Amino acid sequence: MDKILITGGAGYIGSHTAVALVNAGYQPIIIDDFSNSNKSALNGLQQILGTDLPCYEGDCNDKKLMQQIFSDHELTGVIHFAANKAVGESTAFPLKYYKNNVGSLVVLLETMEEFGVKDLVFSSSCTVYGQPDELPVKETTPRKVAESPYGNTKKICEDILIDVVKSGASIRIISLRYFNPIGAHESSLIGELPLGVPANLVPFVTQTGIGLREKLTVHGNDYDTPDGTCIRDYIHVMDLADAHVKSIDYLQDKPETYYDLFNVGTGNGNTVLEVIQAFEKVSGKPLNYHIGPRRPGDVVKVWADTQKIEEKLGWKPNYSLEDALRDSWNWQLALAEK
């Protein structure tokens, strides 16, 4: 059974990808420092899978620990999620973001080379596009100057990967540029666990729906969109997890040195108000929200062109916006019972 290391494997996307990997016949190995995740995710994985996954607690910048993991397991590939990801925090603490996000990738690449592990799927982001000049966004759409140190780390990491491949190194890489992951596993045993006040829309919606937050602020309703609110491409986390599995599958028969990148979204944009209306429909609850001022730095509208990933990887999303919001709500309800 092929063993795949998942860095940040106890996090939101990492834990769901672990489930998808097991279902596809792989053995995931997890490393996580739990700085932006919770050990309860491991219990959820154990209940879903009926077995404990090997898990190392530590930092991907720790070269000795990384060497230990690669020595303990004959890995065939790596999916690299581990990164700090709060845009606002990155602006306040840029060096933390460069050290962790860029530094950990360098350590990982050095360790992969040392142990002869060839296949890597990298967690990138649609933030590299900024506010695109044309929609939908294609993989060939020019990257914009990053709005934050976080966004810049994703650009830098992509460039590092391209340079490594250009050097002729024996490595095969796919970068996945995600749009906006939402939803949870249908079991409600794992899901998104934001620390503190959620920075993303859907956890704030569900926390408001259940009464943890007094009300939701919609930041601006005077944008050039159908209802004046910002548009994003919301993708179910299990669809995103499946894209990682298909990427690992896809790399296995590729040339010794290889790089490609794919957008992962639904190909559709939804406004903030459409998300709220879909939540109210699936939950049966009116949401307490109000319209506030625009938020500086917000991209007005962005959604993916998914033709490339559909054609090359044979991947398509299976879940709708309502499916994702139903699963997010069920996860919030399950959290309230704990």
**Catalytic residue (choose from 150, 234, 259, 289):** 150
Question: How many CA atoms lie within 13 Å of 150's alpha carbon, on the beta-carbon side?
Answer: 17
Q: DSSP class of residue 75? A: E
| Cis? peptide before 203, omega within 30° of 0 | no
In angstroms, the Cα distances linking 172 to 144, 228, 258 are 26, 43, 4
- 186: how many CB neighbours lie within 10 A of its CB? 14
- Catalytic site includes residue 150: yes
Calculate ∠ Cα 200-179-301, nearest 5°. Answer: 80
In the numeric block, the tokens 């749009």 are attached to 179
**Six token digits for residue 300:** 């007005």
**Six token digits for residue 281:** 């429909």
Q: DSSP class of residue 218? A: E
Name the phi and psi angles at 33, rounded to 5: -95, 0
- H and E: helices and strands count for the chain: 12, 13
What are the catalytic residues?
150
